[in-house]
Amino acid sequence: ARNNYVPGSEPDPLADPDSPDDPLPPLEGEDEFIALDERHARDSDVIAGDNANIIRIVGFDADSSDGIPAVDVMDVDPEQLYLSFNYDNYGVERIIVRGVELVDYTEGGPDFRPDLFSQEDPADPDFRDEFDLWARYDIGGHDEVHGGSGDDFIYLMGGHDRAFGDAEDDDIIGGWGNDWVSGGTGQDAVIGDDGRIFTSRNTAGDITDFSEPLYAINFLLAEDPEPRRPQIIHGNVISEFVYTPGRVQMAILNVNHALDKTVDITPYNLTPNADGGDDPLFDANVSDDIIFGGLDDDFLHGASGDDAIGGGEALEESYAPRFDGNGELVGIVRTDFTRPWNPGDVLRFGDDTDPWNAPK
């Protein structure tokens, strides 16, 4: 817990947006470069910014009811017991499937459960000094995480964190706090707040069955069920061709074998339960994220809060307005790729009571 710096791997050229497709250089004692397809699994990290249990998932066939002798787990090479994803069809090595249990953590944070946090010392022995405020259950700090090479799975959890996915296809979940996130190169998925990301590959088959069983992602239809009515968009057909009237705009949905990311944002609305039902205009103040997708095609979800989201990479040098405690503009503050600073409420939208987003 506390404020941590977590590198997923040693710095390498893959973290450089100018060379996303270069092979990994050989490590000391190695003779060959690591091929492009092998990079996904070779250094695939699961990183939690605060406390968590990371569990390697294994499995074997223990059912002998079909007349086939059950496998004796003690007779199997331990490495063969690791489960794998169907979408992971790159090289010889496979990404090891790992489950993550977040510990000492409140999904939604101070916005969703203000009763579990306090800006001032509540003089309650159940509260601890964490994240520069007082928390009843949460333990942690403001972290900086670098995924490095490989397909990384990053859970920043509580606090105002910074994350660099770097190379390959990363999944980054910001958790509560005003986070700064860069996906880096590759096809990344980012959630600014809490939830889960499920990676799969667009595949046609029996739509009642799963193309990615570990994530319960269904197959897509192999053909359009209504080919005579092309104006109907089904959304569950492989490589479905769609267009606007006059074919001014055309696109192909669910491209065959393309990587896909399904997202579950939970909690979806951060209105405290004590305040009644979900308020679509609720102004979450500890969930204002800055998110950059980086190079390649990314899946970016800010979730709650006023989030600044860009599909490209963060600039080498850029600035944002700086305000004093009274909300008065007093200058600028640097925030960019080399200084991943998120002052919070960087968009200055204010409460969602004015359609023109006052104050400016």
Task: Note the pLDDT tens digit of each residue in 48-91.
Answer: 999 999 999 987 654 444 454 555 656 666 667 889 999 999 98
Residue 254's pLDDT is: 96
pTM (2 d.p.): 0.86
Question: 131-145, 169-183, 320-334: lowest mean pLDDT where?
Answer: 320-334
* pLDDT over 80 at 8, yes or no: no
How many percent of the chain have pLDDT more than 90?
Answer: 67
* pLDDT over 70 at 126, yes or no: yes
Residue 25's pLDDT is: 57
Question: 3-17, 77-91, 131-145, 279-293: lowest mean pLDDT where?
Answer: 3-17
Residue 15's pLDDT is: 41
* pLDDT over 50 at 227, yes or no: yes
Question: 68-72, 261-265, 324-328, 330-334: lowest mean pLDDT where?
Answer: 68-72
Q: How confident is the model at residue 1 (pLDDT cuts 50, 70, 90)?
A: low
What confidence tens digit (pLDDT) does each residue in 269-281 have?
A: 999 988 888 998 8
* Average pLDDT value over all residues in the chain: 87
Residue 245's pLDDT is: 87
Q: What are phi and psi of 13, to 5 degrees?
A: -60, -20
Residue 13's pLDDT is: 39
Q: How confident is the model at residue 350 (pLDDT cuts 50, 70, 90)?
A: confident
Q: When comparing pLDDT for 14 and 29, which is higher?
A: 29
